[in-house]
Amino acid sequence: MGRTEAMDGSTLRRRSLLAGGILLIASSGRGRAQAYPGRPVRIIVPYPPGGATDTIARLLAQELTRTLGQSFVVENRGGAASITGTQAVATAAADGYTLGIVDTAFLVNPGLFGDRLPYDALRDFAPVSLLVRAPLALVVASQAPWRTVAELVAHGKAKPEDIIFGSAGNGTAVHMAGEQFRQAAGFAYLHVPYRGGGPMFTDLLAGRVQMAFGTVPAVVEHVRAGRLRALAITGAERSALLHDVPSMAEAGFPQVDAALINALIGPAGMPEAVIARLAEATRTATLQGMSARLAELGFHPVGSTPEEARETFQAAIPRWARIVREGGIKPD
pLDDT band with cut points at 50, 70 and 90 for residue 331:
confident
Q: Is the dihedral of CA 271, 275, 277, 278 positive or negative?
A: positive
pLDDT at 276 over 70: yes
Q: Is the domain of 107 the same as that of 148?
A: no
Residue 283 located in a structural domain: yes
Residue 12 located in a structural domain: no
**How does pLDDT run across 56-112, given as a tens digit for each residue?**
999 999 999 999 999 999 999 998 989 999 999 999 999 999 999 999 999 999 999
* pLDDT of amino acid 26: 46
* pLDDT of amino acid 182: 97
pLDDT at 151 over 90: yes
pLDDT band with cut points at 50, 70 and 90 for residue 197:
confident
CATH number at residue 312: 3.40.190.150
**How does pLDDT run across 4-38, given as a tens digit for each residue?**
444 455 555 555 555 555 554 444 445 555 689 99
Residue 84 located in a structural domain: yes
* pLDDT of amino acid 6: 45
Q: Is the domain of 114 the same as that of 143?
A: no
Q: Is the domain of 139 the same as that of 224?
A: yes
Residue 28 located in a structural domain: no
Domain C-terminal end among 233, 251, 281? 233
Q: Is the domain of 139 the same as that of 124?
A: no
Residue 26 located in a structural domain: no
The range of the structural domain enclosing residue 160 comes to 135-233
Q: Is the domain of 173 the same as that of 112?
A: no
Domain C-terminal end among 233, 251, 273? 233
Average pLDDT, the chain: 91
Residue 8 located in a structural domain: no
Residue 100 located in a structural domain: yes
CATH number at residue 216: 3.40.190.10
pLDDT at 136 over 60: yes
**How does pLDDT run across 237-269, given as a tens digit for each residue?**
999 899 999 999 999 999 999 999 999 999 999
Q: How many domains are there within the chain? A: 2
Residue 315 located in a structural domain: yes
